[in-house]
Amino acid sequence: MNIVENFDLYAPKLTDKKEYFSPGHRACQGCGEALAIRLMCKALGKDTVIVNATGCMEVISTMYPTTAWELPWIHVAFPNSASVGAGVEAALKILRRKGKIADRDVKTVCIGGDGGTFDIGFQALSGTMERGHDVLYICFDNEAYMNTGIQRSGATPFGASTTTNPAGAASIGKSQWKKNITEIMVAHGVSYVATACHSYPVDFMTKVRKARKVKGPSFIHCMSVCPTGWRTPSSECVKVGRLIVETGVFPLYEVEDGKYRMTYQPEFLKPVELYIKKQGRFRHLTPDRIQEIQDRVTLEYRKLMDKVEGLHSWKELAD
Amino acid sequence: MSKRIGMEIAIAAAEAVALCRPEVIAAYPITPNTHVPEHLSDIVAEGRLDAEFICVESEHSALSACCGASGAGARTFTATSSQGLAYMSEIVPIVPAMRLPVVMIIGNRALSGPINIWNDQSDIMYQRDAGWISMFANNGQEVVDMAIQAFKIAEHKDVMLPVNLNLDGFQLTHVVEPMEMPDQKEVDAFLPPFKPLASLHPDNIVSMGTLGLPDIYNEACKARDEVLKKSRKVILEVWKEWKQKFGRSYEPVEGYKTKDAEIVLLTLGSMGETAEVAVDEMRKKGVKAGLIRLRLWRPFPFEEIRKAVKGAKVLVVLDRAVSYGGPGGPVFSEVRSALYDQPEKPFVMNQIIGLGGRDVPVVDFVKIVEKAQKALKTKPMDDYEIYGVRGS
Ligand SMILES: Cc1ncc(C[n+]2csc(CCOP(=O)(O)OP(=O)(O)O)c2C)c(N)n1
Ligand code: SF4
Ligand SMILES: [Mg+2]
């Protein structure tokens, strides 16, 4: 067991002292995904089985014969954490029913990157959610295939330069908008769906605890800053995570049985430019491109607020 | 007490699997294995079997879910064919690497393309080198028996490897045959509950499926090869026990009239039964023909093959898959390499037959024996022939 120094000083009431995701793993300095996973583990506690898709987090945490995981953990492949999780959940259910394992709740938690969730693992995710397995799926979205060297994914934002969608004289980088995975999960009828970010640890951990309690599928979309892929200093990870929320690019909300609620709402949204200017992956964007992104963010934010508040702001738009 | 039944073989296979009390079943429909999972879901729905049946959205997820379930300590089963097996193929080699004793029934069917739902063995041959224990049944009774044996072999503490049991699509899956179905008590006495070496549970924390760098990957492969080879001992023990308890004997390689045979056919799967009739016909005509049926495909029974062909002058290996641009059918290349170093060996030839459901009646086996007679004199240099190609 690893104890954080000065824990009693910083976070005595908020969370468990116990670390389930040990330090010493090989994530880059300032990795938002690793930070998010650590927080996730603390919120989940010991009665958890983790099913990890291939990606940065699997690679950096389990270099044989070492492991950073102090929770039962399995990795099988890239596209299938949701289906491996379905199998784990089914097994835990029947083994408990048959009295072969202890009679208590153990939660199956599937984790994957944006590639493992939005793209290659999408079918498995949809199947597991549709079948109603008692599984919490958390997507750690760093907006590209980072493990293989910053390639474009369905989660990469408009205008970002990646190694397969590079910016150049004839390209602005990614020319499509990000897939809205959260809405897709809502459309599956998943009873608890939330967005989160490691830069809001209490909000994230509260959501993890809430999702854990759901009987049936639940989904958290956790924005995770990747300094390496986003081309930001590693010391800025938490700051950039806050900016993505404060600018409205990635609002924090939850959808419980179809009902939307903002869990953190800045009084005024900061200009998107502040967020964009922090990152090398957007370095090539001209002011009008940034304005295009700003307009989209504003629209999407309003659409979200419509869902939160009813159809109220649609009316305003029409005026 | 075993019961005498007449039943479609796929249904009987499901009944036999149910007697093994699998705890998690994950499968996706594809002809011709579909009746196996369908009937298992009937058995679960009727309350005769307490299992979690996961109606996955694809075969990739079927085998993935099996990995999760087996990793968590449940007895796990799946079934598929052809494209389904190909769709699983990313996961196929991971299952033995993780030492997960999943049992899979494969209703063998030709791989696309062209798309074709009928029988050959190209689906399993495409997965040949993945590290599973792989065996073939010749008839319904063998399907029932081997399905039960498969769990015992897979879950043996010295094995802990997945097993695939192959039965020819339609030729076996859809045929009604008389069989003896063991009863629950007999199966319970034969097959102990699954005791995993490690399982995913917070009471005993483990990391499964970790990253292997070059400093360990080599050793992992070696270990995998060794354990698969060593599983042979357990397989033979299980078959011996089966013979004692149920009276039916199983061998890696089984000979029929091979003692004084000059021309020996070697088959894999259900065509062995037809070939047997052909051998009888040839014997009536005074031709010294014999037959070897290969049951155990992995681990490959080198020693038994060498022994079985002793004294033969021509060995005709009958394949039901092509290794395009390669040295002949997959069974042929294995058998020929098993014999390469032998001081005395038969002339080995290869006929690839019955692709994509092309019927191979007795008369074709007779013709093949006649070809072998000719080859005995001419020793043709052709490695292999796809038999019965129209227009050639
Ligand atoms: C079937 C398959 N295709 C491709 C890969 C190569 N690959 C491994 S991880 C990865 C990207 C992971 O991206 P993501 O899911 O976003 O996780 P991240 O590394 O960014 O955390 C890719 C393309 C693979 N392992 N398996
Ligand atoms: S590449 Fe990004 S996500 Fe991967 S370990 Fe480094 S910082 Fe974390
Ligand atoms: Mg990613």
CB pairs under 8 A, 24+ apart, for B336-342?
A: B338/B300, B338/B302, B338/B305, B338/B306, B339/B305, B339/B306, B339/B309, B339/B315, B342/B306
Instruction: Say how many Å lie between the CA of residue A58 and the centre of ligand 2.
Output: 11
Contact A83, A128 (CB under 8 A): yes
Q: Which residue of A has its CA nearest to B206?
A: A72
Domain endpoint, select from B199, B220, B246: B246
CATH of the domain at B191: 3.40.50.970
d(CA A59, CA B131): 24
Residues B209 and B291 in one domain: no
CB–CB of B23/B75 below 8 Å? yes
Is B202 in contact with A49 (Cβ distance < 8 A)?
A: yes
The CA distance from B374 to B262, in Å, is: 12
Whether B167 and B305 map to the same domain: the answer is no
The pLDDT tens digits of the residues spanning A101-154 come to 999 999 999 999 999 999 999 999 999 999 999 999 999 999 999 999 999 999
pLDDT at A318: 60
> Which residues have CB under 6 Å of ligand 1?
A 33, 54-57, 78-79, 112-116, 142, 145-148, 153; B 90
Amino acid A1: pLDDT:
44
> Quick check: B210 and A49 CB within 8 A?
no
Residues B68 and B191 in one domain: yes
CA distance A189 to A178: 21
Ligand 2, atom 3, residue with closest C-alpha: A226
In a domain, B283, yes or no: yes
Do residue B149 and residue B283 come from a single domain? no
Which of B72, B94, B207 lies closest to A77 in CB terms? B94
- Same structural domain, B96 and B222: yes
Least CB–CB distance from B68: residue in A62, A85, A126: A85
CB contact B150 to A (< 8 Å):
no
Q: B71 and A126 in contact by Cβ < 8 A? A: no
Chain B residues touching residue A47 (CB < 8 angstroms): 202
Q: Over chain B, what is the mean pLDDT?
A: 97
Q: Is residue B272 part of a domain?
A: yes
Q: Which of A142, A166, A164 is nearest to A240 (CA)?
A: A142
Residue with tokens 């927080």: A39
Q: Is the pLDDT of residue B35 over 60?
A: yes
Contact between chains at B68 and A131 (C-beta distance less than 8 A): no
Residue A160 has what DSSP assignment? Answer: -
Is B26 within 8 Å of A102 when comparing Cβ atoms?
no
pLDDT value, residue A37: 98
Is A75 in a helix, a strand, or coil?
A: strand
Instruction: Return the structure tokens found at A143.
Output: 């907006």
Which residue is it, tokens 């502040």?
Answer: A274
Please give the structure tokens belonging to residue A169. 């004289």
Residue with tokens 């089985």: A49
CA distance A308 to B172: 59
Q: Would you say residue A310 has pLDDT above 90?
A: no
* Cα separation, B76 vs B105, whole angstroms: 12
| Same-domain status, B236 and B370 | no
- pLDDT at position A286 is 97
Residues B3/B43, Cβ–Cβ less than 8 Å: no
What amino acid occupies position A85?
G
Same domain for B180 and B129, yes or no, is: yes
Ligand 1: centre distance to CA A139 (Å): 13
d(Cα B21, Cα B1) in Å, to the nearest integer?
Answer: 18
Same domain, B241 and B260: no
Asked if A101 and B73 come within 8 Å (Cβ–Cβ), the reply is yes
pLDDT at B195: 97
Ligand 3: centre distance to CA A145 (Å): 4
pLDDT of residue A3: 53
Q: Using one digit for the tens of pLDDT, what is the confidence trace for B89-122?
A: 999 999 999 999 999 999 999 999 999 999 999 9
Instruction: Provide the pLDDT for residue A279.
Output: 98
Q: Per the CB < 8 Å rule, is A91 touching B55?
A: no
pLDDT at A161 over 90: yes
Distance A55 CA to ligand 1 centre (A): 5
Considering the domain architecture, whether residues B235 and B292 belong to the same structural domain is answered as no
- With 0-12 / 13-18 / 19 or more C-beta atoms within 10 angstroms meaning exposed / middle / buried, residue B356 is middle
Q: Looking at the structure, tell me whether residues B8 and B47 fall in a common domain.
A: yes
Give the residue from B246, B271, B302 where a domain finishes: B246
What is the spatial distance between Cα A206 and Cα B358, in angstroms, rounded to a whole number? 62
Residues of chain B with pLDDT > 70: what percent? 100
Residue with tokens 């090989």: A26
User: Is B179 among the domain residues?
Assistant: yes
When the pLDDT of each residue in chain A is averaged and rounded to a whole number, the result is 94
Provide φ and ψ at A110, rounded to 5°.
-95, 135
Q: Does a cis peptide bond (omega within 30 degrees of 0) precede residue B113? A: yes
pTM (2 d.p.): 0.96
Q: How far does A27 lie from chain B, in Å, by closest CA?
A: 14
CA of A60 to the centre of ligand 1 (A): 13
Ligand 2 in reach of A237 Cβ (< 6 A):
no
Q: B331 with B374, same domain?
A: yes
Residue B114 preceded by cis peptide, ω within 30: yes
Tokens coding B292: 């070897």
Instruction: For a ligand 1 pocket test, name from A76, A78, A139 the mutation site with the most ligand atoms within 8 angstroms of its C-beta.
Output: A78
**Residue B32 belongs to some domain of the structure:** yes
The encoded tokens of residue B308 equal: 């079985």
List pLDDT tens digits, range B262-296: 999 999 999 999 999 999 999 999 999 999 999 99
Q: Report CA Rg, chain A.
A: 19
Torsion of CA A134, A140, A144, A148, to 10 degrees: -90
The verdict on residue B20 lying in a domain is yes
User: Buried b / exposed e across B127-151, counting CB within 10 Å, b at 16+?
Assistant: bbebbbbbbbbbbbbbbbbbbbbbb
Q: Does B93 touch chain A (CB under 8 A)?
A: no
**Residue B94 at interface with chain A, using a CB cutoff of 8 Å:** yes
* Total domains in the fold of chain B: 2
In a domain, B294, yes or no: yes
Q: State how far the Cα of B203 lies from the Cα of B200, in Å rounded to an integer.
A: 9
Query: Which of B208, B218, B221 is best to mutate for the A interface (most A CBs within 10 A)?
Result: B208
What does the H/E/C string look like for chain B? CCEEEEEEHHHHHHHHHHHCCCCEEECCCCCCCCHHHHHHHHHHHCCCCCCEEECCCCHHHHHHHHHHHHHCCCCEEEEECHHHHHHHCCCCCHHHHCCCCCEEEEEECCCCCCCCCCCCCHHHHHCHHHCCEEEECCCHHHHHHHHHHHHHHHHCCCCCCCEEEEEECCCCCCCEEEEEECCHHHHHHHCCCCCCCCCCECCECCEECCECCHHHHHHHHHHHHHHHHHHHHHHHHHHHHHHHHHCCCCCCEEEECCCCCCEEEEEECCHHHHHHHHHHHHHHCCCCEEEEEECEEECCCHHHHHHHCCCCCEEEEEECCCCCCCCCCHHHHHHHHHHCCCCCCCEEEEEECCHHHCCCCHHHHHHHHHHHHHHHHHCCCCCEEECCCCCC
Q: Are residues B153 and B260 in the same domain?
A: no
Q: Whose CA is nearest to atom 5 of ligand 2?
A: A27
| Mutate which: A80, A106, A108, vs B, most B CBs within 10 A | A80
Structural contact between residues A86 and B65, judged by C-beta atoms closer than 8 angstroms: yes
Contact B209 A131 (CB under 8 A): no
Q: How confident is the model at residue B379 (pLDDT cuts 50, 70, 90)?
A: confident
Q: Which of B289, B62, B61, B20 is nearest to B146 (CA)?
A: B20
Helix, strand or coil, per DSSP, at residue A283: coil
The conformational region for residue A149 under phi > 0 = left, psi -120 to 50 = alpha, else beta, is left
Among partner residues B23, B58, B64, which is closest to A91 by beta-carbon distance?
B23
**Contact between B60 and B88 (Cβ < 8 Å):** yes
Q: Span A15-318: which CATH code?
A: 3.40.50.970
Residue B307: domain span:
253-386
**Using the beta-carbon criterion (under 8 Å), do A91 and B67 form an inter-chain contact?**
no
Task: Say yes or no: B51 contacts chain A, CB-CB below 8 A.
Answer: yes
pLDDT of the residue at B380: 78
Q: State whether ipTM is beyond 0.95.
A: yes
d(CA B79, CA B7): 19
Distances in Å between the Cα of B15 and the Cα atoms of A284, B35, B181, B270 are: 64, 11, 8, 20
Q: Strands (DSSP E) along A3-45, which ranges?
A: none
Q: How many CB pairs under 8 A join A and B?
A: 171
Angle, vertex CA A33, rays to CA A32 and CA A36, nearest 5: 85
Going by C-alpha positions, the residue among B90, B92, B81 that lies closest to residue B28 is: B81
The answer to whether residue B279 sits within a structural domain is: yes
Separation of alpha carbons A184 and A72, rounded Å: 29
Confidence band, pLDDT 50/70/90 cuts, at residue A311: low
Give the closest residue to A147 by CA, choosing from A174, A180, A123, A112: A112
Residue B391 lies in a domain: no
pLDDT of residue A22: 94
Which-ligand-closest: CA of A115? 1
Of chain B, the end-to-end C-alpha distance in Å amounts to 54
